[in-house]
Structure 1
Amino acid sequence: MPQESATAPPRDAIAPGPAASVRPVSGAAFDWIDAAHDHRRRAGLVRTLRPRPAASPLLDLAGNDYLGLARHPEVTDAAARAARQWGAGATGSRLVTGSTELHAQLEAELAAFCGFEAALVLSSGYAANLAAVTALTDRTTLLVSDAGNHASLIDGCRLSRARTEVTPHADPAAVRAALDGHRGRALAVTDSVFSVDGDAAPLGALAAACRAHGAALLVDDAHGLGVLGDGGRGAVAAAGLAGDADVVTTVTLSKALGSQGGAVLGPARVIEHLVNTARSFIFDTGLAPAAAGGALAALRLLRREPQRSRRAREVAAALHTRLTAAGLSAVRPDAAVVSVQAPSPQQAVRWAADCREAGLAVGCFRPPSVPDGISRLRLTARGDLTDDQVDTAVGVIIATAPAG
């Protein structure tokens, strides 16, 4: 916010002008909101905040706590220690007072774990994607974006003001075609695991398409970190691309690592460039120390217990096999997301509500969150679920499934 002049009177001492004192106040300026709400209600697309208690009786297959680490004692104790040592907040942007030794340690260990030269921690995965896309492009850059990409990548493309070509989902040939004939800078952006259906991008083929044209590849590995790759090192590592000079990846600390925040990983020169140019890094308050401490503890725990990532994949496969055997339409999962189609938005909402009443929390994805317009239940296959809990979840979903 601009600072006031040292010689100017304080704002509360300036009397309002005549127009300000007599202008009538009308609520009509926001009447359009009522019409928009009615439209959403008729389409079955109203979304509602549902605050949960600290101790919920529901079996949770809705959140993104893929490894069950959000409440792990080592993680919560580390978060509490960090808050006591460093304070409740970062106190400023990372370039002012918001960088602590804890942030630097997290960046170093995250980069080493995932196989990259350097990392930069931001306040969210959303901010990380905005930073990477906007800082690595300009008006002359060609951006090639998968049609199924997360909203944060899409918004990054819009904010970059670069020319953006949207290609069909998971189609390396379409990426090659989009890059053909372009002679300047180019960047292809894709999720590694798509958040709606849980299918994985063909990263090896996408990298080959980019390299044939001298383009860079940016991969959002939010749903791959902790689940895919050797010991949960992510989809980029699993594809053999970690540490490559033309590959950058983003991750979130709020899913498999059970905390909050995001990071960009890549060549050291890319990270240095983001520090100097990425607006969602420069002008944002740094990640709270408690979140950084919790994420670092979760990363160390995963490194010590790599079987957690394997268990998450096993649970996902079991859910898919048993639900499809019961006649439900579910996408074969490549990671820890299991997507089950619903007949309509209204029936998806009813199905999710019936699951909740039966003691099971599931995700409910409807337009505009789903680009193909098909509503779904979205299940999270957590690595800490027992076989009995998987049995319970399958039974509830099948018993509450809408007819037809």
Structure 2
Amino acid sequence: MLARLAAVRALSPANSPYFMAALGILTSFGPMGTDMYLPGMPTIGVDLRATQDQVQWTLSAFFLGFGVGQLIWGALGDRFGRRGPIAIGILLYAVACVGCSLSSDIAHLAGWRFIQGVGACAGPVLVRAMIRDVFERDRAARTLSMMMLVMGAAPIIAPLIGGQILVWANWRWIFWGQGIFGAIAMLALFTLPETLARDRRSSLRPMTLALSYRQLLTNRSYLGYAFGSACIYGGMFAFISGSPFVYIDLFGVAPENFGFLFGINIVGMMAMSTVNSRIVMRFGAERILRIGTMLAAAAGLLVLVVAALGLGGLWGLVGALLLFMAMMALINANAMACAMQSFPHMAGTASALAGMLQFSVGSVAGWVVGLLANGTAGPMGMVICGSALLSLLLNVTLVRRAPSQTAP
């Protein structure tokens, strides 16, 4: 077994049959860490005597940890390579899974969820850097889209697993299931080669890191890509945070069936990822990003109208959300590839900062949905619509030309 893994690592990443599959698994920490326990959120509130907004703290805490932690892992990945920091992150994630399962109140559960998010983000942030190590911009965007097809099973399977666990056991066993996924991800990591050569690794000195982040935060195009993508993530996390209560409490969907409605959106994202992977090499990542952002804004407006007026009931809302979520596939992969294109010498740091912004904005969006909760789908629709419109505004005002120039 070890000899086979060593042979796989010896292959060029672009030629390895396991490369995309392993990257897809490592990128799935986000959906596996959130979607699996979504069906149990109402039950957690009852068991721990917590209100809806308090239960949503646990989701926002994970998002916040997932965002802030990326700054740490991005810097460590640029200094020590990609594989070692990912392994440490997986171990931290596994410890936090045990802590979550043993929590006796909502405050401790939120604290462990924050730690779980910090560990979980090591894989996704450094996987994006590994892709940038191997491919140039448009090929990287195509690879990210193809990887979304591989990892697309996670958001479909995760809530279904969580719902079935609730049929046979309590919500605490969901976190043991997440720990098992961590073990699978560690095995996938062993099949990957190190993609960052030693002569390309950067320093961890505070001044060097400060200059790197200053370089990123003063680059107009980078800000447009990173913040625009972060706003779209805010809309996605508004859906993740609000949909369990809207579907289960408002429309009476059984928890074990929640995963099917949730999975419809992932099918839409996978379909658009296929489209993006086929057309990005022809039209370019930036042009498709602009079109995707415009379509997402239109879909966000539709979600708001349907949620506010109740048009079509449950299935009207499901259809509007499907259109919005599908646009994620045209935005995220292209925005991330464009953001990292001008900074190949610090791809880990560029990926980390963009990822931190995505999940920080996402945590705020999820918190706002809980804060405005009134028993209807209106708050979720308002946050989704506002996030999409802001993303379009940032793209139009900050991204004015293709980032073909190198960073100063």
Query: TM-score higher than 0.5 here?
Result: no
Report 1 or 2 for greater relative contact order, CA contacts < 8 Å, sequence distance ≥ 6: 2
Of structures 1 and 2, the larger Rg is shown by 1
More helix per residue:
2
TM-score computed with the length of structure 1 as normaliser: 0.28
Q: Give TM-score, length-normalised by structure 2.
A: 0.28
Higher strand share: 1
